[in-house]
Amino acid sequence: MPSRSDLKRLYDVGAQLAPMTHQQQDWPYEISPDAYKAYLQPPHDVGGQASGPSVFEEKEEELWELNTYVTCEVLGWKGVWNSEERRRIGNNDLGASLYYGFPYYGRWIWAAARMLVDKKHISLMELLEKIAEVKARHAAG
């Protein structure tokens, strides 16, 4: 099992690969073993990594989670996207900060919104206006 210092070194090197903190590189013919490990570790692949203590418990899904699942499935049934696109957008393309910052179905709904904008089913302005409308409705109770 890797030590905390090994994991910190891996995460520090891996953080330099993230798009939002990308550092210009000249792509040498040889890379360090740490860089090699970081390149091979996508943010969603957490198998075998050390983590803090976790409490695993059964819980009922919340309504928004069920609605998100159904929405994503309907998008698939309608041919708007496929499961591989959902996984790629919702896992691989997020980057570590968003991947670890969103709940499971939060990544699904983020991926659905991004895909709808990317494929021009809705405009970004339409999405932002709808988000503002829902926030106002929620604040009003």
Query: Domain 63-140, what architecture?
Result: Orthogonal Bundle (1.10)
120 has a pLDDT exceeding 70: yes
| pTM to 2 decimal places | 0.62
Tokens of 100: 């670890």
Nearest to 10 by CA among 52, 31, 38: 38
Residue that wins the pLDDT comparison between 62 and 11: 62
Instruction: Please report the DSSP string for the chain in residue order.
Output: ---HHHHHHHHHHHHTTSGGG-------S---HHHHHHHH--TT--TT-----------PPPHHHHHHHHHHHHHHHTTS--HHHHHIIIIITT-HHHHHHS-HHHHHHHHHHHHHHHTTSS-HHHHHHHHHHHHHHHHH-
125 has a pLDDT exceeding 80: yes
How does residue 141 score in pLDDT terms, banded at 50, 70 and 90?
confident
Do you know the residue count of the chain?
A: 141
How does residue 43 score in pLDDT terms, banded at 50, 70 and 90?
low
Is position 104 annotated as part of the catalytic site?
yes
Angle formed by the axes of helices 104-118 and 124-140, nearest 10°: 140
| CATH 1.10.472.20 boundaries in the chain | 63-140
- Listed range (17-21, 25-29, 91-95, 130-134) with the worst mean pLDDT: 17-21
52 has a pLDDT exceeding 80: no
48 has a pLDDT exceeding 80: no
102 has a pLDDT exceeding 70: yes
Q: What does the angle CA 22 – CA 28 – CA 33 come to, to the nearest 5 degrees?
A: 80
User: Residue type at 39?
Assistant: Y
Give the pLDDT of residue 113: 92
Catalytic residue (choose from 36, 100, 104, 105): 104
